[in-house]
Every structure is written in structure tokens, then in C-alpha cells.
A and B are shown apart, each in its own frame.
Chain A
Amino acid sequence: MFMKIPSLKSVTKKLPITELESTDVFYIPLQAYFGTMKPLVAVGQKVQQYLPLAEGKDGSRIHAPVSGEILELNYLINENPHLVLQNDFTNTTYIDQELESATELTDKIRLAGISGSGGAGFPTHIKYKTNAIDTLIVNGVECEPYLTADYALMYDEAGEILKAAQASAQYFGAKNIVIGLEKQNKELVKIFESHSELMHGVSFKLLPNTYPQGGELQLIKAVIGKEIPKGSIPADEGVVVSNVATLLAVYKALELNQPNIDRVVTVSGEAAKHYGNFRVKIGTPIEYVLKKAGVNAANVDVVLGGPMMGKIVTDLKQPISKTSGGLLSFKKSAVKENNCIQCSYCADACPQHLMPMQFASAKFDHDTQKFIQFNVLDCIECGACQYICPSNVPLMQSISEGKSLLKSLQNSVPV
């Protein structure tokens, strides 16, 4: 593996977290990991900040980021339903008795609406329902270029993160807490260590600055030395991996009885004129964040997430969600596709040791068997192959086509 992607983080790395003032209209995403959440409120209802607005089948929740009035329950942005909340700027807060009186950690986490902040947004209360955990891995590896939201959190709120980590470890009965950091961020070790009273059982693992070191499977290998296949459950190996932003949300639920209503977002990118790490309330439309940050969204591609795995924003009303770590802008550019020259760089770059060029040939040859033969389902879609490809062969597109092809095959075969 030889992926050295320039980190491009220097512009925002040293910037402190800035609170972004609330907007007037929020779009609360109802899409969650296990399907769409059901609203707990009605149109016209006045709500206070922190009131639970919707709940999923698994108990996942989302809360009012501000006080105000519900305008709509099913506002579609990119075909996903959103709740529309008009801010009344009175800042009255709701006190959730259920959250305050909960004693079990997983109940607190569920009632506070915490889900993984790193990527997929898996509900944290389900992840925490496990036993026989030996090691809690704190994922402080933010390997996506440009993004510094996690770095800023660790820099500013290391103590809070450690408190949540200790509480989680105690809940699991885990003896070890390993904080994974990139070598380029090793100054954070000192910041964590300054909270000496919270350091029992804590050690650090410094990882190379290569992409995608922050992938869960790669992080677990680096810490416990064992490769576990995609789709397996880390808890079966005695480890739980938790992102630093998730742990901060756990801290707020545990110590302050505060639901998860905001997150830190890095505003950056090659076409951004203004940069920063902003604390943004969940549901804030992207156009508002960009305007406040001073970024002109005209004639640029706006990307939600990191530059490697993020998604392009087609509707600027789309809100910041619990998983949005970055808001980046790039110059619009036409991608010129050339013939694959079989250089094998994609295979060298693949953290899962796959051969991405074979997926492209499977796509163009309409060869379903080839997708299976070369294990397309083991791809974690980190984008490393596409980054390195000197010909811009549509590798990622081939992979997602292959995966959906196999999925549709599975569904059509009676079990």
C-alpha cells in the first residue's frame, strides 16, 4: 500500500471551534440507520429546544435543536423526508425527565439520540449492547483530507472525551482504552495526558498518515493486530470502536443530560475562500452554513462529508446531519476518462486487498460472476482506488453497480 494522500488540513487544523448562530428554519432529517423515524409532534405544535421530535423502530431519536413551531412533517429533500421547524428564538428548553432519570448508559445514549458520528450513523445504543469487551478503541483518526472537526474536538475537549471513554469502558468492563491518532497529530497525546486523573487504562496508538487508516477494520488491525473481515462484528473480538465526536455526545448525555443536537463541521475545500471548524445544529441547511462561513456556493461543487467518501450536494436546503463532518467546495471540473492501462495502482492502494480494475471490466463485460469471483462485497468504498487511478476509469461506479447487482440477485433467489 502506498497511498499518501496530501492531508490538506493545515488551513483549518489550528482554527478553534466556532459556534454557528442558529438559523430560522431547520430541516430535521428523519432518515436513520434503521429506516425512517416517526414524528412525535404535529404540524403547528410549539416545541422547546431538546424536545424529542421523532423516534425510530429501534428507539433512535432526534431532538429539537431550537425552540419554535413545526411547519411540516414530510418535507422531501432528495426524496428523503424532513421535519420543518421554524425557530422562534426564545430559547426555551425542554427538560426530559426520562433522560434525566435513566440510569443505564445505553438508555441515556438512546434517549439522547446518539448515533455514530464517523460515517454510517449506526445507533450507538445498539452498538453498546454487548458484553465481554476487552478494549475500547477511541477513533481519533480522521484520515479524510481537509477534515479537522475531530482534531478540533480533541484539541478543545479532550477531558470530556476521556470522561465519556472512561464511563463507556466501565460499562463494558473493558480494561483498556486505546486512543488511535495519526502520527501527524501526535501533539494531541500531551493534551489528553494533561487530564491525568482520567488516564487510567488509557494508551495511545500512533498510526501512519496513510489513507484510509481511520476505517474501522484497519484501525482494529492496528490496535489488536488481527484482521477481521468486513461484515463481522468487532465486539466478537472483544473490541468496540467509538469515534471522538460520538464520545463527546455521550459525555453531554451522561453529565449534562443534554441530547445530541449539534456537531462540529469543517468548512474547507479547494474552492472555499473561508474556512473553519463550526459547531452547527443538526438540521441547519447547508446554504446557511456556507453563507455564514462566507463561502459562495455558485459555480462550485459542494460536498457533504470528506473529499474521499463524501456526497455531492444537489439541493442546498439539505441539512447538516449527525454524520456530516465536513462541508467542502470544489471547482467544477469535467473528468476525462481514459483507457485502463492495467497499472495495478488501484490494487496496490486497496486497503481490503481487492483488485478494483476487475470490477470495471466486470461492469463493461456485464459479467456478474466476475464481481463475485473478485469479492466486490468486501469493498469498503473508501475511494482510494479512484483517487490513484491515472485514467479516471469509473471504478467506484463499477463497484456500486456490482454491489446493487448482487443485492438484486440475492433478493430474487428464494432462500
Chain B
Amino acid sequence: MNKVLTHKAPFVTSKLRVSGVMLDVIITLLPLVFFSYLAHGKYSMMVIGTAVGSALITDWLVSWFFLKKPNSPLDGSAIITATLMAFTLSPYTPLYMVAFGGAMAVLFGKTLWGGVGKNRFNPALVGREFMVAFFPVVMTSASVWMAGTYTVVRGLHPFSVFGQGEIINYLNSIFYNTNGALGEYSIVFLALAGIYLVARRRIGWQIPTGLLVTFFALSLWFEDSISNYSIAGVLLGAIFMATDMPSSPNSNSGKLFYGIMIGAVAIICLAGGVKHEYMSYSILVLNGFSTKINEVFIPRTWGRKTDLPLRIKQTVLLILQIVAVSMAVLGLNYYGYIHYLVFVYLAYMIFNFHFFTQKKLQDPI
């Protein structure tokens, strides 16, 4: 059949394609990958490499099998998802678990939603939570973080040229340190990545700003009642995880609200005794509210007025719902039942794909 293309206006288009958007994100990930090599050498590389390899193979296989779109892995999204997932892991995580996480991130985080752009939850965090649910002993034990002490470079001291002292030591430590998960070794470069992505408009400033301001303000307020957290981990979540385009809201005001609520829910999680997963949980909870946020935070149309009382009413209702869901998550976490949530999600995804998503695979949205 000869399909006649009825070329419609506009007849000029921007040169920017999806791959260009993805490329900018990959550019910001590279320095962080480099620091992870400096920190834990081949161990870091093995974890990141396994995650990426597993994600790419899974993407290629399941896209071909479920979506009938074999070119999908070339868009770069699987590489980003897998690298970000690896960034939340210990460099000494057993590789078969990493491979499992990478595959689940793609399959249950993206493909079964209908492919790139259609996922409602951040796929990297979905992969991570699958790992936690299926390998709880290893993933939640301290031993996986202590399993090795191998470092390529123990410390970098770029700020020492300005002198010595506590401030210089602190600056050196935020430039590079060897503690924490794979993406957390350079706070400076995490921040630079955020600035670059905002400047290039790959992420809106509203999400990281709202999230970080809320998180740090509340953490000072509730200093006594929250457990330890990792600044680099919060940055990683604020810049790379919460800003995942498909799973975050679209309007500027919606993004700001979403960022603020992630910050607040993360503090609630910390205060409620969630140890490692506070950023994951808060982002995933808010991912679930993105569609609703889009409906409430509609930008004011040109020349028209926003119904302010209605907006306030809807916002308050939304906050109550978010807090209620967060409390439920805290409860499940307290009793150690979170993994059942992952199993329910797994079953839901299969059901949803079979009865709904499958019928809309050709639709672009």
C-alpha cells in the first residue's frame, strides 16, 4: 500500500531529536562514571558495565518480542536507565544481581509500559526496588558496602592549592571521596551535571530546586528525629532520578510542587526509619501522582484567570493523598512487607500490558 504523506505545517522543524536529549544526559553521566573508576576501579566498571549490557540486551530482546520495534535500544534510554540504577548500588554488589536489576529496569520499568516515554515510574528505581525485593538479604545488609576496600585513587586535593584547613578539606571531600554508592563520589560534578542539564533545558530547574530546598530546610528543622542521609544520594535523586521526563509532571508549577513534595516525603521516610531507600520511595510515590499533578497544575492559559480557590482545594487534597500514601509505605516498610508491593506491581504490569498497553503500542503517547 502506498501511503501518501500529507505533509502538514509546520514545514520547518527543530533539529533536536530524542537522541540529542539522551546524549546530553549521557554526557553528564560520563564524569561521574570516571570518578567511580577512580574510587573503586574495575569493581565499579564491572557493575556499571553489567547493568548497561544487561539493559541493552533486554531492551533489544523484549522490544523486538513485545513491542515489535527492534530499533529501540539505539535511543540511548536503556544506557541512561542502567547507569543511573548502577549509580545507586555498592561497587561490590554481586554481578548476577546487577544483571537482574538492569533487565527488570528495562522490562518492568519501560517496555511493559509500551516503550520509551510511556513509563509512569522511574525505570532505574524500579530496577533497584526489584533487586531489593528479590535479594533483600544482600541488598539491605551492611556487608555489601564493606565487601571491598579497593581504591584506585584514595583522595584528590584540587582545592589544596588555595591553602589548608577545614574548609579546604571539606571542599576536597565534595570534589571527590570514595564513600557511598557508585554515583556519589563527586558532589561537585553532580552539581555541575545539574547546572548543565538545566542550562540545556534537559531538565526543568523547578524539580531539583524545589526538592533540595525542601529537603534541606526540613532536615534542619527535624535534625533530631531523622537518621543519617547522604548528600550525594539526595543530589543524585534530585538531578537525575526525580527529573526523569516521562514519570515527572509537565507544567512548571506542577514540577515545582512535585519537587517540593519529593523533598517532604523523603524527610517523612527518614523520620519514619527508612534507611537506604528514602529517595527511591519518595520519588516513586510522587511518580504515581504525576498524572494527577498535571491535571491540577495546569498553566494559566493566555488571557484567562486561574480559579484560585479551586486550585488551593485540589492542592490540599493532593497533599493529603500523598501524605497518606507515604504513611502506608512507611507502614509496609516498618513491618517488612515492601517487597509485596513490588510483587503486586509486577502482576499489575503483566495484566496491564496484556489487556491495555498491547492495544496502544502504535500510539506515540
In the complex with contacts A308-B10, A312-B6, A343-B245 CB distance below 8 A: yes
In the complex with contacts A308-B12, A390-B14, A391-B117, A347-B251 CB distance below 8 A: yes
In the complex with contacts A301-B11, A360-B364, A397-B8, A355-B299 CB distance below 8 A: yes
Residues of B within 8 A of A360 (CB): 364-365
Residues of A within 8 A of B12 (CB): 5, 8, 145, 270, 307-308, 387
Q: Is the CB of A391 within 8 A of B18?
A: yes
Q: Is the CB of B302 within 8 A of A364?
A: no
The answer, among B7, B21, B248, for a CB contact under 8 Å with A301, is B7
Residues of A within 8 A of B204 (CB): 344
Q: Which chain A residues numbered 225 to 250 have a C-beta less than 8 Å away from chain B?
A: 227-230, 232
Q: Cβ of A354 < 8 Å from any Cβ of B?
A: yes
CB distance from A246 to the nearest CB of B (A): 22
Residues of B within 8 A of A394 (CB): 364
Q: Cβ of B313 < 8 Å from any Cβ of A?
A: no
Q: Which B residue's beta carbon lies closest to that of A344?
A: B250
Q: Cβ of A23 < 8 Å from any Cβ of B?
A: no
Q: Which B residue's beta carbon lies closest to that of A346?
A: B250
Q: Cβ of A310 < 8 Å from any Cβ of B?
A: yes
CB distance from A147 to the nearest CB of B (A): 12
Q: Is the CB of B14 within 8 A of A339?
A: no
Residues of B within 8 A of A375 (CB): 298, 301, 304
Q: Which chain B residues numbered 138 to 165 have a C-beta less than 8 Å away from chain A?
A: none
The answer, among B8, B115, B301, B364, for a CB contact under 8 Å with A312, is B8
Bound Cα distance from A335 to B5, whole angstroms: 8
Q: Which B residue's beta carbon lies closest to that of A228?
A: B303
Residues of B within 8 A of A301 (CB): 7, 11
Q: Is the CB of B304 within 8 A of A355?
A: no
Bound Cα distance from A339 to B63, whole angstroms: 13
Bound Cα distance from A387 to B9, whole angstroms: 9
Bound Cα distance from A303 to B5, whole angstroms: 14
CB distance from A280 to the nearest CB of B (A): 20
Q: Is the CB of B5 within 8 A of A230?
A: no
The stretch that binds B, out of A29-37, A162-170, A315-323, A326-334, is A326-334
Residues of A within 8 A of B117 (CB): 338-342, 391
Q: Is the CB of A355 within 8 A of B251?
A: yes
Q: Is the CB of A353 within 8 A of B299?
A: yes
The answer, among A230, A332, A389, A393, for a CB contact under 8 Å with B303, is A230
A-B contact count (CB 8 A): 154
In the complex with contacts A340-B117, A355-B294, A357-B365, A392-B13 CB distance below 8 A: yes
Q: Which B residue's beta carbon lies closest to that of A381?
A: B9
The answer, among B6, B13, B294, for a CB contact under 8 Å with A358, is B294
Q: Cβ of A386 < 8 Å from any Cβ of B?
A: yes
Residues of B within 8 A of A342 (CB): 117, 245-246, 248, 250
CB distance from A334 to the nearest CB of B (A): 6
The answer, among B5, B248, B365, for a CB contact under 8 Å with A340, is B365
Q: Which chain A residues numbered 333 to 386 have a C-beta less than 8 Å away from chain B?
A: 333-335, 337-345, 347-348, 351-355, 357-358, 360-361, 364, 373-375, 378, 383, 386
Q: Cβ of A388 < 8 Å from any Cβ of B?
A: yes
Residues of B within 8 A of A8 (CB): 12
Q: Is the CB of A341 within 8 A of B21?
A: yes
Q: Is the CB of B245 within 8 A of A344?
A: yes
In the complex with contacts A217-B302, A352-B301, A353-B302, A383-B10 CB distance below 8 A: yes
Q: Cβ of A47 < 8 Å from any Cβ of B?
A: no
Q: Which chain B residues numbered 102 to 147 have a C-beta less than 8 Å away from chain A?
A: 114-118
Residues of A within 8 A of B303 (CB): 217, 227-230, 232
Q: Cβ of A311 < 8 Å from any Cβ of B?
A: yes
Q: Cβ of A126 < 8 Å from any Cβ of B?
A: no
Q: Cβ of A137 < 8 Å from any Cβ of B?
A: no
CB distance from A215 to the nearest CB of B (A): 10
Q: Which chain B residues numbered 52 to 98 have a C-beta less than 8 Å away from chain A?
A: 75
- 7 more CB-based (< 8 A) A-B contacts, given A355-B298, A389-B14, A390-B17: A338-B117, A339-B114, A341-B116, A342-B246, A345-B201, A353-B299, A354-B299
Q: Can you list 20 A-B pairs, Cβ within 8 angstroms, ordered by A?
A: A303-B11, A307-B9, A308-B12, A310-B11, A328-B11, A338-B116, A340-B364, A341-B116, A341-B117, A347-B299, A351-B302, A358-B294, A360-B364, A373-B298, A375-B304, A386-B9, A386-B13, A387-B14, A389-B14, A397-B8
Q: 5 nearest interchain CB pairs? A: A229-B303, A339-B117, A383-B10, A341-B117, A340-B365
